[in-house]
Every structure is written in structure tokens, then in C-alpha cells.
Amino acid sequence: MTSATPHLPLRQTLARACRWWLLAPGLAGVMLAQAAPAPAAANPLLTPSPLPLRFPAFDKVRDEHFAPALDRGMAEELAEVEAIAANRAAPSFANTVEALEKSGRLLARTTTLLFNLLAADANPARLQLRTDYAPRLAAQRDAILQNPKLFARIDALYQDRKS
């Protein structure tokens, strides 16, 4: 039993009270439906675009798609980089540099689109995304660039560059 268990009934009671309070005016149901996050399958940012030149389907992308795509993209990139750094095979250009270049595709697609939209069509939601994710993206980049195992692999390639 955790320390939060005794508070669970109170939380449920408060949650129910808030729901009833919100549903009373009639429009709250519409507001809740609009605020509900889109299911992952409906998020066009989570898969590469099938359109020519891989342009995103702008008519399908909504501002609420960005946060889940950024979160998943950051997690995927860190996992891919950790797999490269932990690779037991001797460092080679293919299993280190090329693999690193191919990592983080989802994050790259999502940030490219978000920052281009911010430059061309900023709105409060996108500006808030930038504010929320800028420090997280910087920390992500630092974690990759300062990964000692990854640096050791790249340094080994650099030291052996003549051969």
C-alpha cells in the first residue's frame, strides 16, 4: 500500500465533482471533446509522410499532434543513440557515424515542421510548445553530444582515420 492510496477516494470524489460541474453548462462536453488528445493512430506526425518529397499533410496536422510526436521522437532518439554507444562490435563508419546520422528521424521530422510553422505561422499553442520543449531539446542534444561511450566510439574512428 502506497502513501497515495488513502487519498484515492478523495481524488476520485473531486474528479467526479469537477466533471459534473463542467458538464452542467452543456457546452462543457464539446470543450472536453476538443481538448481530448488525438489517438496515436490519428497523429500524422508519428509516421513518415507518403507525399512527394516527404512533405507533411498540412491539412491533417494539428497543434496537439506535436507534443506526443516530440515526446516519442526524443525517447526514440535516445534509445537509438544508446544502442549505437553500447554496440559491442568494433566501431566502424557504418555502425557509428551512419547509424548516428540515421537516428532521431521522428524527432527531426517533427522539429523541422514545428519550427518552420513557427517561423511562418506562429500561434499561441505553437509558441507554448517552443517554450516548453526548447530546454528539453537542448538537454537532449547535450546528452547525446556528451555521451562518453558514443564519444569513445567516434574518437576510436578518428584515431584510426588513416587506415
pLDDT, tens digit (0-9, with 9 covering 90-100), for 79-128? 999 999 999 999 999 999 999 999 999 999 999 999 999 999 999 999 99
Q: Are 103 and 74 in contact (CB under 8 A)?
A: no
* Predicted confidence (pLDDT) per residue in 2-54, tens digit: 444 444 444 443 344 334 333 333 333 333 333 444 455 689 999 999 998 88
What integer pLDDT is reported at residue 39 of this predicted model?
55
Taking residue 127's Cβ as centre, other Cβ atoms within 10 Å add up to: 11
Contact in structure between 111 and 137 (CB atoms under 8 Å): yes
